Amino acid sequence: MTAAAFGALVADIAAPLGIGRVRLEDGTNVAGFICEAIEVEGATDITGFDGWRAYRQSLSERMSGRPWPEKR
């Protein structure tokens, strides 16, 4: 990705999101999306869903009466 393309991407990221360093499960640090800590107060922890798409799918399943996955 060119510097100009990266700049355009970052310019389109809405608050409270941003780009920052993220520590992965194996301990490595990579560039990734971050969220301002103050904005997650009271938010739903979706870690147990193994990703955003699975969480979104669970919302429709929840509406149909299926149980949510167990928390890890």
Is the pTM of the predicted complex or chain greater than 0.85? no
Mean pLDDT for all residues in the chain: 86
67 phi, psi to nearest 5 deg: -75, 155
31 confidence band (pLDDT: 50, 70, 90): very high
Whether the predicted pLDDT of 72 surpasses 60 = no
Question: What pLDDT, on the 0 to 100 scale, is given for residue 51?
Answer: 86
Question: What pLDDT, on the 0 to 100 scale, is given for residue 67?
Answer: 60
Cβ proximity of 16 and 39 under 8 Å: yes
Structure tokens at 69: 């996955």
Cβ proximity of 22 and 29 under 8 Å: yes
68 confidence band (pLDDT: 50, 70, 90): low
